[in-house]
Structure 1
Amino acid sequence: MTPVPASSDQSVDLFVRKRFERPTAGMPTSAQRDVEAVRLGATVARTRSGYTVISFHGEIDISTGDVLEEILSNALSASPGARIVLELNRVSFLSVRGLGLMLDAHQQARRGNGELALVVDEAAPCARVLRILPTEAHLVVFSTLSASVSDLPA
């Protein structure tokens, strides 16, 4: 454990900032986004029936929220009436910000006559967040990818 300096308020402040600031602080913005993208990965696939399936892995939190927002925005703007499925079984952490971004994307999809659904198995790490927070009334959640693609309206 690193000892806390005791000499002055200024050195303690510098110590606290160095210990707790984001690891990407001081990097160029493009490099920060590259590091954050490593913490949150996504694979985008299109099904023959016209669904866009985005499989996420990693952490969805305050530091990766911009990456999530960009991915969702690109998927929604790709085509009006988009039918999007977010597969979250390999997401190890889901923050309230991430959930809020998904709710916003769901509302945006609905305004464009599209759909957005989640796939989260009961055993997935982020399933607990979805059970605790009252999002089921807003987001359609399936336990398998095949169920989501067959049960969403065409």
Structure 2
Amino acid sequence: MMVVILGQILYLVRKLREWEREQHSLEKKLQDLEGEHISFTTVGGLRQLEFVRLALNQKLTEAMRAVLKATQYYQHKVSEGLAETEQNVEAVQQEVCDLCSLVANLQKLTARMNECVEDAKGRFQRNNLRFVDFPERLEGPYTKLFLED
């Protein structure tokens, strides 16, 4: 879309320059004619030349207004697009922050769960170790020993 817009603006600028060149050439012809002997036909030609110059000035003014209007319109559109993009970026940044905090919480929960699993494994192993009626030299003064937390 921006390429089309830029193409239209470039076209209008080219037309504007073309009209400026035409106006310049007509003004130069007018200056050349002013230096010559002015007769009735030359005055008529000058009047016609003046009408052409006025028409070119009017076209030039219209072209400048069109270029200005198009530039303002597309500048407004681009500004709206930039504002929308900035809002989207802020929303994405907020989502990324939320995801980072979720990942941190999941890491904490995973670490806590791993601790609980290791603790449960240790309890399971300790609770399944039973010394029943071992000789006193291995066991000590007790006849039964249950290892628990």
What is the TM-score when the length of structure 2 is the normalising length? 0.21
User: Which is higher, the Rg of structure 1 or of structure 2?
Assistant: 2
Higher helix share: 2
What is the TM-score when the length of structure 1 is the normalising length? 0.21
